[in-house]
Amino acid sequence: MQGVTLALPTRDLVLFPGVLRTVTVGRPASTAAIERHATSGAALVLVPQRDPEEEDVERAALSKVGVLAQVLRAARMPDGTMRVLVEGLERAKVTGSISVDHGAYVVNIEPMPSPKEDPAKVGALSRHLQELFKDWMVGHNFTGTEADLLASEDDDPDRVGDQIASELSLDLADKIELLEEPLVRRRLEILVGHLAREIAGQRVASDVNAKVQAAMDQSQREYHLKEQLKAIRAELGEATGGDAEADTFETRVKACGMPEEAEKEALREVDRLRRIHPDTAEYTIARTWLETVCDIPWSKGTTDATDLALAQKVLDEDHHGLDKVKERLIEYLAVRQLKPDHNGAILCFVGPPGVGKTSLGRSIARALGRSFGRIALGGIKDETEIRGHRRTYVGALPGRIIRALVRAGSKNPVLVLDEIDKLGNDFRGDPASAMLEVLDPEQNNAFADHYVDLSVDLSQVLFICTANVLDTIPHALFDRLEIIEIPGYTEEDKLEISKQFLLPRLAEKHGLTQKQLIIEDDALQHVVRDYTREAGVRDFERQLAALHRKVARQLVEKSARKVKITANALGRYLGPVKYHPELAELVDMPGVVIGLAWTASGGDILFVEAIKMPGKSGLKLTGSLGAVMKESVEAALSWLRSHAADFGIAPEAFEAEIHLHVPAGAIPKDGPSAGVTMVTALASLMTGRPVKPMMAMTGEITLRGKVLPVGGVKEKVLAARRAGVKTVILPRHNGADLEDVPEVLRRDVKFVLVDTIAEVLAEALAPK
């Protein structure tokens, strides 16, 4: 047949002569060609496209050879497409491109020449091909009747080749090559090559399967599949792990600058990663470990600032006062300049809340030019939070120290260990003990995290701990710390801090300018005295923030340009006064004394009240007093009874029931520093002589009448001055502690240093 013929271009389908195939037709022009062929009986040729993705048939690259076919059955589907059963008849040469004629595809064709070939050679090839095809069918469990008949036919080599080509899973390009090949012998040779490769692959797979089957346990199907895959890849000479990822990790490990021993261990893990299949859990564990190890800044670091004046300027910009702390840090910088490998001590800032311990660590990092990290230790009870989990556990992670080091991205950051005094312990271990190695300059150059399981050098990290109290820090851990006490702020300090730091920051935060909101100094002072009661400035900042919020609302609602807040106007913004002067409630009567106490929130004053009642001789104590404070009362009473004659107290005065009470009974109180207060209250009660006004005292007593030194002097003095006390009695040995008291306090408060209880009573009791 020659001339213009109806055409059906096919995608992903090559029809061979003598083969039946079902074709789905969706293009309108293809559907029209099928209908014209069915109605008119015109010839139809199936021409495969070389690129199945090409939609435009007129531009598509087509095979040079098509197959004349007849439609045996056609059915139109609900979606508008047609399903057509076609039978290939013979090859035809395509001489032009496909075009559209009256809505149907047409193409020019001419007969395909059949060169003469040696029948003996072609027949031998055909028989060999059929034998190979039988083996191929056995490997694929092929039991179809037509295939069995096909494999037994040997009279028509051309038909045998086309039938076998249609059964094999060949690529589109390979099938088109077979269709276009005019020589039967060449087509049979190509098919023999394909079948030989297929059968060889089947035999390798069979051998691999036999080996795996012999080694596997019947009950472990999943393990069998993984081992089978490994054996297949081993036979093919392919790697079994994520080679590209392993190569990436190997490059990263070598570039990290690890110690030699750590690098060897990491490279061993990389080699192990190559041998693990990516779909297994072991692969994920190894990969996560390598990521963590490579993220550790083994050799990345920053250079410390060398300009001491610039460091001092940075510290002064961020914090007011704190001269001792700043001096210690400048000393640290100076030593680092002279000896760069100096490890230094572990600093521990101790002070009440809100005095800037944590923010001071950030300022230190800025002054040094180092990266900064913070680790919150409050409430941690599990040792693994510090040292990490073993890799064998599900969801294992490195400890907080290593994670903070990774986040900082530097081997020498400033790490603040916040609230180290609040570490706990339970059945999961003692995290405070785990911190011993971290905070020991002699040991932390080889810190061992359970997850990483490699020695990590922490000696260049500047650790700064913060704490409110020292009593709860274990002794072994306390011994490794250099304690720097940060006492509470004076009123003058708070006013200066508010002007330099708090007000500018709050104004920016609330969208105000300092011209829109003016707070007079007297108003700030009243906020400190009447609305806050703290050693730091945290609550003070909250009250100032409340002022800014109310002023912002006032500016928006009333369209005011600026607001000026005076001391008299504070009540309209902050409400009634929250705290009243304690001394205003003090009644000038015998048996009432002001004592000084230290708390985790700073210093405070406490009243001690004593009365006596007729009845059986005895001592009654109330006010949530601890065991040590109760013993101080008993010691005070014993000393006073033994020296009653010296103060003109009759012996029968003690034959009454004495009741001593410390107000704020809901708050537990303990410690020996109230000894002088207790003995003064009892002496005042027994002698009827009240204590001099505006006087407070602190100190421990002995039965010999000695007054022993106490701690927290600066905090107690700050509390006394805040309460309006004018005279403070202190043990003589605490005189050196007054150097830490600001000069403004020493000017406002008179200090009386004493050695004995007799000196205390002589100074404290008013004349009869």
SS (H, E, C) 125-176: HHHHHHHHHHHHHHHCCCCCHHHHHHHHCCCCHHHHHHHHHHHCCCCHHHHH
Q: Which of 63, 166, 459, 673 is flagged as catalytic?
A: 673
Report the largest interatomic distance among the alpha carbons of the chain, rounded to a whole angstrom.
Answer: 149
Q: Which of 175, 326, 494, 716 is flagged as catalytic?
A: 716
What sign does the CA torsion over 725, 728, 734, 739 have? positive
What gap in Å lies between CA 252 and CA 270, rounded to an integer?
Answer: 11
Nearest Cα to Cα of residue 470 among 423, 535, 533? 423
Decide: 254 and 266 in contact? Cβ < 8 Å. no
SS (H, E, C) 228-291: HHHHHHHHHCCCCCCHHHHHHHHHHHHHCCCCHHHHHHHHHHHHHHHHCCCCCHHHHHHHHHHH
What gap in Å lies between CA 44 and CA 387, rounded to an integer?
Answer: 79
- What DSSP character marks residue 766? P
What gap in Å lies between CA 66 and CA 94, rounded to an integer?
Answer: 6
Q: Is 319 helix (H, G, I), strand (E, B) or coil?
A: coil
What gap in Å lies between CA 191 and CA 127, rounded to an integer?
Answer: 12
What gap in Å lies between CA 760 and CA 758, rounded to an integer?
Answer: 5
What is the torsion angle, in degrees rounded to the nearest 10, for the CA atoms of residue 725, residue 730, residue 735 and residue 737?
-70
Is there a catalytic annotation at residue 673?
Answer: yes
Is there a catalytic annotation at residue 299?
Answer: no
CB atoms within 10 A of CB 519: 23
What gap in Å lies between CA 488 and CA 535, rounded to an integer?
Answer: 4
Nearest Cα to Cα of residue 764 among 570, 584, 543, 608? 608
Residue type, position 749, single letter? V
The vertex-229 CA angle with 226 and 235, nearest 5°, equals: 140
The DSSP element (H or E) to which 344 belongs, if any, is: none
Residues belonging to the active site: 673, 716
